[in-house]
Amino acid sequence: MPVAVVSFAQLKACDPESFRTSAKAYRDLADALDERADEIAPQLTDFDDAWDGQGSPAADKAIRDQAVVITDTVLMLQRADQILSDFAGELDKAKAMLTDAMEAATRISATVAENGSVTPKSAKDQTAAEEIVEQFRAAIQYADTADTTASTDLAALTPPVPGQQAPVDLSTVPAIGTDPERVKEWWNSLTPEEQQYLIAQHPDRIGWLDGVPATARDQANRLVLDRELDTVNERMSTLEDQGQTDTDEYRELQGKKRGLEAIEDRLELSGGDGRDEDGLQSNEQRAYLLGVSTEGDGQAIVAIGNPDTADNIVTFVPGTSAELAGVRGDIGRVDRMVYDANNLDPTQRTAGIMWLGYDAPDQILEWNGMDDLTNLGRYGDASDPGYAQRAGTALDRFSDGLRVTHEGERSHNSIVGHSYGSTVIGYTAKDHGLDVDEAIFVGSPGVGTDTAAELGLNPENVYSSHASNDPIRYLTETEVAFGNNPSDEDFGGRRFASDPGTPLFETHTGQKTYDPMGPFGPSITLPTIDFEWKGGAHSDYWTDDNQSRDNIARIVTGTGGDITGDHP
On the question of pLDDT at 280 being above 60, the answer is no
Q: What is the pLDDT of residues 435-446, one digit of tens each?
A: 999 999 999 999
Side chain identity at residue 558, one-letter code = G
Q: What is the pLDDT of residue 39?
A: 72
Please state the rounded mean pLDDT for residues 85-95. Answer: 94
Helix (H, G, I), strand (E, B) or coil at 290: strand
CA 405 remoteness from chain centre: 16
Least confident of 324-328, 455-459, 525-529, 545-549: 525-529
Residue 275: pLDDT band (50, 70, 90) is very low
Residue 472: pLDDT band (50, 70, 90) is confident
Beta strands 505-514 and 524-533 are antiparallel
Cα Rg of the chain (Å, integer) = 28
More confident residue, 64 or 303: 303
On the question of pLDDT at 567 being above 50, the answer is no
Helix (H, G, I), strand (E, B) or coil at 252: helix
On the question of pLDDT at 411 being above 70, the answer is yes
On the question of pLDDT at 111 being above 70, the answer is yes
More confident residue, 399 or 561: 399
Of 361, 371, 374, 363, nearest to 480 by C-alpha is 374
Cβ(91)–Cβ(155) below 8 Å: no
On the question of pLDDT at 514 being above 80, the answer is no
On the question of pLDDT at 412 being above 50, the answer is yes
Write the CB contacts of 208 (distance below 8 Å, at least 6 apart in sequence): 176, 217, 291, 293
Q: What is the pLDDT of residue 274?
A: 39
Please state the rounded mean pLDDT for residues 530-537. Answer: 68
CA dihedral 301, 303, 308, 314 (to 10 degrees): -100
Burial (CB < 10 A; 0-12, 13-18, 19+), residue 37, is: middle
Q: What is the pLDDT of residue 279?
A: 45
Least confident of 71-80, 144-153, 388-397, 524-533: 524-533
Sequential DSSP letters for 49-86: HH--STTHHHHHHHHHHHHHHHHHHHHHHHHHHHHHHH
CB-based contacts of 71-75 (< 8 A; 24+ apart in sequence): 71/37, 71/200, 71/223, 72/160, 72/196, 72/200, 73/33, 73/159, 73/160, 74/30, 74/33, 74/34, 74/37, 75/196, 75/199, 75/200, 75/219
Please state the rounded mean pLDDT for residues 323-334. Answer: 94
Q: How many CB atoms lie within 10 A of CB 205?
A: 18
On the question of pLDDT at 399 being above 60, the answer is yes
* φ/ψ of residue 296, rounded to 5: 60, -130
- Terminal Cα-to-Cα distance of the chain (whole angstroms): 51
Residue 548: pLDDT band (50, 70, 90) is very high
On the question of pLDDT at 370 being above 60, the answer is no
Write the CB contacts of 71 (distance below 8 Å, at least 6 apart in sequence): 37, 200, 223
Q: What is the pLDDT of residue 416?
A: 98
Cα–Cα dist 349/365, whole Å = 40
Helices 248-268 and 327-344: crossing angle, nearest 10°? 20
Q: What is the pLDDT of residue 568?
A: 43
Least confident of 66-75, 150-159, 402-411: 66-75
Beta strands 118-119 and 111-112 are antiparallel
Helices 420-431 and 386-405: crossing angle, nearest 10°? 70
Of 173, 175, 179, nearest to 393 by C-alpha is 179
pTM: predicted TM-score of the whole model, two decimal places: 0.88
233-262 burial code (b ≥16 CB/10 A, e <16): eeebeebeeeeeeeeeebebbebbbebbeb
Cβ(384)–Cβ(378) below 8 Å: yes
Of 198, 258, 253, 199, nearest to 223 by C-alpha is 199
Q: What is the pLDDT of residues 36-66, one digit of tens each?
A: 777 766 666 665 566 666 666 666 666 666 7
Percent of the chain's residues with pLDDT above 70: 83
Please state the rounded mean pLDDT for residues 361-370. Answer: 62
* φ/ψ of residue 101, rounded to 5: -65, -40
CA dihedral 375, 381, 383, 385 (to 10 degrees): 110
Q: Give me the chain's average pLDDT, please.
A: 87
Q: What is the pLDDT of residues 449-467, one digit of tens each?
A: 999 999 999 999 999 999 9
Of 317, 337, 513, nearest to 417 by C-alpha is 317
Sequential DSSP letters for 216-248: HHHHHHHHHHHHHHHHHHHHHHHHHHTT--SSH
Of 351, 346, 350, nearest to 96 by C-alpha is 346
On the question of pLDDT at 156 being above 60, the answer is yes
Please state the rounded mean pLDDT for residues 499-504. Answer: 84
On the question of pLDDT at 531 being above 70, the answer is no
Q: What is the pLDDT of residues 212-261, one digit of tens each?
A: 999 999 999 999 999 999 999 999 999 999 999 999 999 999 999 999 99
Q: What is the pLDDT of residue 180?
A: 98
* Beta-ladder partners of 314: 352, 414
Side chain identity at residue 495, one-letter code = R
Please state the rounded mean pLDDT for residues 509-536. Answer: 70
Cα–Cα dist 378/243, whole Å = 38
Classify residue 257 as left (phi > 0), alpha (psi -120 to 50) or beta. Answer: alpha
CA dihedral 290, 418, 558, 211 (to 10 degrees): -20
